[in-house]
A and B are shown apart, each in its own frame.
Chain A
Amino acid sequence: MSAAIIVSGLKKSYGDREILKGVSFQVEKGEIFSLLGVNGAGKTTTLECIEGLLQFEGGSININGKAGIQLQSSSLPEHMRPMEAVELFARWNRTAPDASLLKRLGIPELGRRQYRQLSTGQKRRLHLALAMSGEPDILFLDEPTAGLDVEGRLALHGLLRELNGRGVTIIVASHDMAEVESLAHRIAILREGVIAFSGTIPELNCALGTQYEITITTDLGVESLETQDVTGAMIKLLTEYRASGRRILDMRVNRGSLEKHFLAMAGRELK
Chain B
Amino acid sequence: MRAFTYGTLLQFKLDIRSRTMLISCYIVPLVFYLIVSGVFTSVMPGYEEGLIESMTVFGVTMGTLIGLPPSLVEIYGGDIKRIYRANNIPVWTGLVLTNISAFLHLLIMSLIIFFTAPYIFGATPPEHPPLYFAILALFIIASQAVSSVIGLAVRDQSKAPAVSIVVFLPSIMLSGIMFPASLLPSPLRLVGRLFPAYWGYEALIADSASALTPLPFLLIAIAAAALCIPLVKKRT
A87 touches B6 (CB 8 A): yes
In the assembly, what is the distance between CA of A130 and CA of B88, in Å? 11
Nearest A residue to B19 by beta-carbon distance?
A: A79
Is A182 interfacial (CB 8 A cutoff)? no
Q: What's the least CB distance linking B82 to chain A, in Å? A: 6
Q: What's the least CB distance linking B38 to chain A, in Å? A: 33
B6 touches A78 (CB 8 A): no
Instruction: Type the 1/0 row for B83-113, where 1 means its CB is closer than 8 Å to any CB of A.
Output: 1011111100000000000000000000000
Contacts of A88 in B (CB 8 A): 3, 6-7, 10, 89
| Interface locus among B71-79, B115-123, B173-181, B204-212 | B71-79
- With contacts A87-B6, A88-B10, A91-B3 taken as known, whether A76 is within 8 angstroms of B87 at the C-beta atoms is no
Q: What's the least CB distance linking B156 to chain A, in Å? A: 15
A89 touches B79 (CB 8 A): no
Residue picked from B10, B78, B90, most chain A C-beta under 10 Å: B10
B74 touches A134 (CB 8 A): no
Which of A71, A84, A87, A93 contacts B88, CB < 8 Å? A93
Contacts of B80 in A (CB 8 A): 75-77
Nearest A residue to B15 by beta-carbon distance?
A: A79
Is A127 interfacial (CB 8 A cutoff)? yes
A134 touches B88 (CB 8 A): yes
Q: What's the least CB distance linking A89 to chain B, in Å? A: 6
- With contacts A88-B89, A114-B17, A134-B88 taken as known, whether A75 is within 8 angstroms of B6 at the C-beta atoms is no
A74 touches B79 (CB 8 A): yes
B79 touches A91 (CB 8 A): no
**Interface residues of B, dominant DSSP:** helix
Chain A contributes a number of interface residues (CB within 8 A of B) equal to 28
A77 touches B7 (CB 8 A): no
Contacts of B83 in A (CB 8 A): 69, 71, 74-76, 127, 130
- With contacts A93-B88, A131-B87, A134-B88 taken as known, whether A75 is within 8 angstroms of B78 at the C-beta atoms is yes
A73 touches B79 (CB 8 A): yes
Residue picked from A52, A78, A92, most chain B C-beta under 10 Å: A92
In the assembly, what is the distance between CA of A131 and CA of B74, in Å? 21
B3 touches A71 (CB 8 A): no
Is B219 interfacial (CB 8 A cutoff)? no
Which of B3, B71, B82 contacts A53, CB < 8 Å? B82
Instruction: Type the 1/0 row for A79-104, where 1 means its CB is closer than 8 Å to any CB of B.
Output: 11000100111011110000000000
B14 touches A80 (CB 8 A): yes
A84 touches B82 (CB 8 A): no
Is B128 interfacial (CB 8 A cutoff)? no
Instruction: Type the 1/0 row for A27-68, where 1 means its CB is closer than 8 Å to any CB of B.
Output: 000000000000000000000000111000000000000001
Q: What's the least CB distance linking B15 to chain A, in Å? A: 8
Is B2 interfacial (CB 8 A cutoff)? yes
Contacts of A93 in B (CB 8 A): 87-88
Contacts of A69 in B (CB 8 A): 83, 86-87
B82 touches A71 (CB 8 A): yes
A92 touches B86 (CB 8 A): no
In the assembly, what is the distance between CA of A78 and CA of B85, in Å? 18
Is B18 interfacial (CB 8 A cutoff)? yes
Contacts of A89 in B (CB 8 A): 87, 89
B82 touches A92 (CB 8 A): no
A51 touches B86 (CB 8 A): yes
Residue picked from A73, A77, A78, most chain B C-beta under 10 Å: A77
Chain B residues within CB distance 8 Å of chain A: 2-3, 6-7, 10, 13-14, 17-18, 71, 74-75, 78-80, 82-83, 85-90
Chain A residues within CB distance 8 Å of chain B: 51-53, 68-69, 71, 73-80, 84, 87-89, 91-94, 114, 127, 130-131, 133-134
Contacts A88-B3, A92-B87 known; 17 new A-B pairs at CB < 8 A: A71-B79, A71-B83, A73-B82, A74-B83, A75-B78, A75-B79, A77-B75, A79-B18, A80-B14, A88-B6, A88-B89, A91-B2, A92-B7, A92-B89, A127-B83, A131-B87, A133-B87
